[in-house]
């Protein structure tokens, strides 16, 4: 028998797992609020963040109008409110950690 005949080939994933697999893996398949959060984060990452990276914004530490616009995109998509309880303006009810976070008054 030749050495090539006895070697086993390692199989790799041909594609990354889809959202259905990730939801089961991370145990949030029954959490619609978390599924919506994932979609919000992806939309910002694939939109404004991707455009800024393509323009070379990550090559500089300077604060720019484009980077400022990211903060507005995060706010509009609801990402910045994710850590807050619904009573404080957030939309996901989370476990109590003994500390209370308050939204800054604008």
- The mean of the pLDDT values for the chain is 78
Residue 35 · residue 23 · CB < 8 Å = yes
- pLDDT tens for 8-44 read 788 887 877 787 777 777 777 787 777 788 888 889 9
- Alpha carbon distance 79, 11 (integer Å): 37
Q: Is the pTM of this model over 0.85?
A: no
Residue 62 — very low, low, confident or very high, per pLDDT cuts 50/70/90? very high
- Alpha carbon distance 90, 96 (integer Å): 14
Residue 104 — very low, low, confident or very high, per pLDDT cuts 50/70/90? low
Whether the per-residue pLDDT at 50 is higher than 90: the answer is yes
CA distances from 32 to 12, 37, 73, 77, 82 (A): 31, 9, 21, 16, 14
Whether the per-residue pLDDT at 73 is higher than 50: the answer is yes
């Amino acid at each position: 028998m030749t050495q090539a005949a006895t070697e086993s080939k390692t199989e790799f994933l041909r594609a990354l797992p889809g959202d259905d697999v990730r939801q089961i893996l991370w145990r949030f398949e029954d959490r619609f609020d978390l599924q919506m959060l994932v979609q919000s984060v992806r939309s910002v990452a694939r939109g404004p963040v991707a455009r800024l990276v393509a323009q070379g914004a990550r090559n500089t530490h300077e604060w720019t109008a484009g980077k400022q616009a990211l903060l507005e995109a995060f706010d509009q998509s609801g990402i910045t409110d994710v850590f807050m309880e619904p009573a404080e303006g957030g939309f996901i009810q989370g476990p109590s950690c003994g500390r209370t976070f308050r939204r800054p008054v604008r």
